[in-house]
Amino acid sequence: MATTNVAHGVGRRRTEAELGRGRGYDSGCRFKLMLRPAMALTFVLFLVTAAGAQVTVKGDAAAWREVMAAYENLGKLKSFRMKMTPVGQTEGAFVIEKVNPDRSRMLIQSQQGVGIESIAVGNEVRSRVNTGTNQATAWQCGPAPVQASSEPNPLKAKGEVTISRLPDATIEGTRTRGYRSTMTTDGKPNHSRIFVLVDRGLPRRTEVLDDAGSKMEMTIDYYDFNAPITIDLPKCG
CA distance 58 to 3: 5
Q: Is residue 231 in a domain?
A: no
Q: What is the CATH number for 201?
A: 2.50.20.10
Number of structural domains found in the chain: 1
Integer angstrom CA distances of residue 24 from 127, 138, 145: 12, 11, 20
Q: Which residues 6+ apart lie within 8 Å of 134 measured at CB? A: none
Q: What is the pTM assigned to this prediction?
A: 0.75
Range of the domain at 194: 3-223
Note whether residue 235 is domain-resident: no
Q: Is 234 within a domain?
A: no
Q: Is residue 237 part of a domain?
A: no
Tell me the pLDDT of the chain (237 aa) as tens digits. Answer: 444 443 333 333 333 333 334 333 343 433 444 344 344 444 444 334 323 356 789 999 999 999 989 988 988 999 999 998 888 775 667 899 999 999 999 888 776 666 888 999 998 999 988 876 667 788 999 764 443 333 334 445 457 889 999 999 999 999 999 999 998 877 888 899 999 999 999 999 999 999 899 999 989 999 999 999 999 999 987
